[in-house]
């Protein structure tokens, strides 16, 4: 199966449970969720006019929103060609769960990698059972999609960006009927704002949740 890929790059995972882990990011093209503050708006549309060669997607960053179809084999070949050494692969977007990721994640895992998916939780998640799924729930966004209970149930980690108490209340409501015993719940202060950070820290301490800091923004890396 082929997937529309916007860009591929190797860096350090900057947030959540895998903070600090070297990782290869595979950014898929396409997202109808419509978050106003989205910092990857170039991934929203999968326009035929923006389709380029596989090589172009591998060679250059994806800021202009072009894409090419790749499958697991062509991605693994590209990682080798680029000399990537990370063994943790993060499939992000866009909204990667627009696509059935079973085949892609299975083949990447069979090749000896660990795999993580970062999703908004608004589409059904289809992937290998060993995938670490990070749901960052996007509530009441312009696209009108609801955060799915099935996505929250599948999540290994629920990472919620917060600025105010309303965001925490929103998360509490989402988690009402979810068994979180074996899940990592992370609060992530939006835009490194001091008040958001203080609220996140206070709430994490009182509930034994985890603070997720976007370390890549402090380091000024991708
Ligand atoms: S779900 Fe992610 S990619 Fe889609 S609009 Fe929201 S932040 Fe952007």
Residue 40 in any domain: the answer is yes
Burial (Cβ within 10 Å: 0-12, 13-18, ≥19) of residue 138: buried
Laid out side by side, the sheet with 132-135 consists of: 68-70, 3-12, 22-28, 88-92, 114-119, 132-135, 157-162, 184-189, 210-211
**Which tens digit of pLDDT belongs to each residue from 69-113?**
999 999 999 999 999 999 999 999 999 999 999 999 999 999 999
Q: Is the CB of 95 within 6 Å of ligand 1?
A: yes
Backbone angles phi, psi at 126, to 5 degrees: -120, 110
Q: Quick one: which atom of ligand 1 is closest to the CA of 34?
A: 5
Q: Is the CB of 5 within 6 Å of ligand 1?
A: no
Helix, strand, coil share of the chain (percent; to 5)? 30, 25, 45
65 Cα: distance to centroid of ligand 1 (angstroms): 14
Separation in Å, CA 163 to CA 106, 135, 138? 36, 18, 14
- Per-residue DSSP letters for 150-166? HHHHH-SEEEEEESSHH
38 Cα: distance to centroid of ligand 1 (angstroms): 5
124 Cα: distance to centroid of ligand 1 (angstroms): 16
Structure tokens, 175: 């988690």
Residue 31 to residue 80: CA distance in whole angstroms: 28
183 Cα: distance to centroid of ligand 1 (angstroms): 22
**Which tens digit of pLDDT belongs to each residue from 110-162?**
999 999 999 999 999 999 999 999 999 999 999 999 999 999 999 999 999 99
Q: Is the CB of 31 within 6 Å of ligand 1?
A: yes
93 Cα: distance to centroid of ligand 1 (angstroms): 7
Please, are residues 76 and 54 in contact by the beta-carbon 8 Å criterion? no
Residue 207 in any domain: the answer is no
Position 217 scores a pLDDT of 75
List the domain range (segments joined by +) for residue 136: 3-185
Residue 194 in any domain: the answer is no
Q: Quick one: which atom of ligand 1 is closest to the CA of 39?
A: 8
The total of structural domains in the chain comes to 1
Q: Is the CB of 120 within 6 Å of ligand 1?
A: yes
Q: Residue 195, Cα to own-chain centre: how many angstroms?
A: 25
CA angle at 142 for the pair 220 and 126, rounded to the nearest 5°: 75
Backbone angles phi, psi at 199, to 5 degrees: -65, -45
Q: Is the CB of 138 within 6 Å of ligand 1?
A: yes
Residue 193 in any domain: the answer is no
Measuring CA to CA, which residue among 118, 103, 86, 91 is closest to residue 6?
91
The residue count of the chain comes to 222
Residue 190 in any domain: the answer is no
Q: Quick one: which atom of ligand 1 is closest to the CA of 94?
A: 3
pLDDT category of residue 62 using cuts at 50, 70 and 90: confident
pLDDT category of residue 214 using cuts at 50, 70 and 90: confident
- Per-residue DSSP letters for 35-53? -TT-S-GGGS---GGGB--
Residue 31 in any domain: the answer is yes
Q: The CATH number of the domain where 56 resides is what? A: 3.20.20.70
Residue 116 to residue 212: CA distance in whole angstroms: 16
Residue 195 in any domain: the answer is no
């Amino acid at each position: 199966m082929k997937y529309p890929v916007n860009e591929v790059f190797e860096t350090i995972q900057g947030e959540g449970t895998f903070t600090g882990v070297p990782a290869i990011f595979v950014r898929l093209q396409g997202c109808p969720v419509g978050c106003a503050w989205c910092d990857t708006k170039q991934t929203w549309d999968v326009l035929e006019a923006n389709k380029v060669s596989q090589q172009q997607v591998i060679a250059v960053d994806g800021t202009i929103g072009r894409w090419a179809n790749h499958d697991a084999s062509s991605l693994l070949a590209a990682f080798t060609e680029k000399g990537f050494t990370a063994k943790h692969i993060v499939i992000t977007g866009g909204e990667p769960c627009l696509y059935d990721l079973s085949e892609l994640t299975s083949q990447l895992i069979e090749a000896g990698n660990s795999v993580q998916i970062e999703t908004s939780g608004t589409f059904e998640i289809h992937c290998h059972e060993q995938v670490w799924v990070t749901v960052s729930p996007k509530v009441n966004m312009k696209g009108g999609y609801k955060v799915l209970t099935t996505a929250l149930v599948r999540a290994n980690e629920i990472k919620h960006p917060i600025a105010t108490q309303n965001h925490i209340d929103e998360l509490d409501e989402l988690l009402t009927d979810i068994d979180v015993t074996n899940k990592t719940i992370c609060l992530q202060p939006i835009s490194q704002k001091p008040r958001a950070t203080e609220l996140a820290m206070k709430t994490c301490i009182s509930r034994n949740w985890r603070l997720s800091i976007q370390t890549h923004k402090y380091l000024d890396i991708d």
